[in-house]
Amino acid sequence: MSIKELVHDEALLSTPCEKATAADAEVAQDLLDTMASLDDAACLHANQIGVTHNLFAYVDEKDKPHVMLNPVIKLGLAASKQVEGCFTHEEPVTVTRYDRIKVAYEELLDGKLVARKGDFRGWVAQLIQHMADHGKGKFI
């Protein structure tokens, strides 16, 4: 596991990601290591380190790191405009984000993918939506 260099290649970042698998455990650790090495990093998608699989690392409100694989946003409530920055995009952009989301996703547990569902609000909901867009190849 190691700290990876950030990718700024628009073609790669605009490519929809493949489904992540249990074989992506090393990528998950690389995401955590790389995110921890960056100043003010709250989230980081695998495509930002050159891996086009749908997984990302993020920190919650208590600054605890997590890795989410193959997220699907099932429900979004209370949409509003937000200005977001990104490590792989030079200028902040205005996007529509939900304040509350319900997400189906997977996480790695003892080397296996485990299906999960979660209800997220506020800042963490915004991070997850930003990362879900990365997984779809939306260059934000």
> pLDDT tens, 55-77?
999 999 999 999 999 999 999 99
**Binning pLDDT at 50, 70 and 90, where does residue 1 land?**
low
pLDDT of the residue at 24? 97
* Contacting residues for 90 by C-beta, under 8 A, at least 6 apart: none
Q: How large is the average pLDDT for residues 123-137?
A: 95
- Provide the residue ranges of all domains of the chain, joining segments of one domain with +: 10-135
CA dihedral sign of residues 89, 22, 105, 63: negative
Strands 43-45 and 65-86 turn out to be unpaired
Amino acid sitting at position 58: Y
**132 pLDDT exceeds 90?**
yes
What's the fold here for domain 10-135? Peptide Deformylase (3.90.45)
Percentage of the chain exceeding pLDDT 90: 84
Strand-pairing partners, residue 53, are 18
Give the C-alpha separation, 4 to 132, whole Å.
20
CB environment 46-59: b (16+ within 10 A), e (fewer): bbbbebbbbbbbbb
SS3 label, residue 39:
coil
Q: pLDDT averaged over the chain?
A: 94
Amino acid sitting at position 93: V
pLDDT of the residue at 29? 96
Please state the pTM of the whole predicted model.
Answer: 0.93
Q: How large is the average pLDDT for residues 95-118?
A: 96
Where is pLDDT greater, at 24 or 1? 24
Strand-pairing partners, residue 113, are 108
SS3 label, residue 32:
helix
Phi/psi of residue 34, each to 5°?
Answer: -70, -45
